[in-house]
Amino acid sequence: MEVPDSETIARRVQSVLSAIRQTVEKAGRPADAVKLVAATKTVTVERIREGLGAGLSILGENRVQEAIPKIRALEDAPVRWHFIGQLQRRKVRSIMGLFELIHSVDSLELAQEIDRRAAEAGLVQEVLLEVNVGGETTKAGFHPDALEAVVPAMARLPHIRIKGLMTIPPPTQEAEGARIYFQKLRSLRDAIAARNVPGVVMQELSMGMSNDYRVAIEEGATLVRVGSAIFGARRG
């Protein structure tokens, strides 16, 4: 649904939060089952502050260089930061301690680097594994078949904690088109959870963006990542 430009960020935050509430309720899920992660790439600190004033509390950033100055500028605000973009191994050290959750771990090598840097920093980093549910050749993320071997290997890394899965489905015309991919992520999550790998929690499903977060919530999302429905279309 297109949000008219005249609407303020505050109005849009309220409308997304209320759509989440309604969808959660209709799906018969607990009221606190879904958290909104506002995707703030290219959004200025001033506009982010408007969103925080209207009820945002978790912000998702995609790029390390862009995120670090924003995190500094918003140190006074009650914000939790999530990293949702592709993360390069050489940048891991510079973000240790800044992000509550990294949604986008897409290789064992990246997990090993996070583990190493988290150990140096004396912390345990919570992560999600990004899954390429559509099997697209151009997209980051683990192939669904790779998870069975990767999860136990990662679970042995003492300074990361796997909390669940994340996906960006292939683009579809209608939000409904994404449903099968959300169902797939959920069934992968449930299959991993059923194996009871020590140290693996598997409670989170990060799925759904501006166009399809309602469908994602119906299919079990616990974290929805919404950008343009709050901040308007991105330029460039």
Residues 6+ apart with CB under 8 A from 171: none
The reply on whether position 228 binds ligand PLP by CB under 6 A is yes
Q: Does 151 bind ligand PLP (CB under 6 A)?
A: no
CA angle 233, 139, 204 (to 5 degrees): 80
Q: Is the dihedral of CA 89, 93, 94, 96 positive or negative?
A: positive
Amino acid identity of residue 78, one-letter, is: P
Residue with smaller CB distance to ligand PLP, 60 or 144 = 60
- 41 touches ligand PLP (CB under 6 A): yes
DSSP 4: P
**Token pair 């509430």 is at which residue?**
21
Question: Interface mask (CB under 6 A) for ligand PLP, residues 72-111, using x and -?
Answer: ------------xx--------------------------
Among 74-82, 111-119, 133-141, 223-231, the segment contacting ligand PLP (CB under 6 A): 223-231
* Closest distance of CB 176 from ligand PLP, Å: 16
Q: Could you say whether residue 141 binds ligand PLP (CB under 6 A)?
A: no
Stretch touching ligand PLP by CB under 6 A, among 5-13, 94-102, 195-203, 225-233:
225-233
Distances (CA, A) of 14 to 21, 123, 226: 10, 35, 13
Nearer to ligand PLP, 135 or 171 (CB): 171
Region 158-187 residues binding ligand PLP, contact defined as CB under 6 A: 168
Torsion of CA 210, 99, 9, 212, to 10 degrees: 10
- Measured CA distances, 76 to 13, 70, 79, 179 (Å): 21, 11, 9, 39
State both tokens at 111: 């997990």
The dihedrals phi and psi of 75, each to the nearest 5 degrees, come to -60, -30
- For residues 223 and 34, the answer to whether their CB atoms sit within 8 Å is yes
Does residue 226 touch ligand PLP according to CB under 6 A? yes
Q: How far is the CB of 166 from ligand PLP (least distance, A)?
A: 8
Contact flag: residue 36 with ligand PLP (CB under 6 A) = no
> Rounded to the nearest whole angstrom, what is the least distance from the CB of residue 120 to ligand PLP in the complex?
27
Size of the site for ligand PLP (CB under 6 A): 13
When the beta carbons of 165 and 168 are compared against ligand PLP, the nearer one is: 168
List residues binding ligand PLP (CB under 6 A): 39, 41, 62, 84-85, 168, 209-210, 225-229
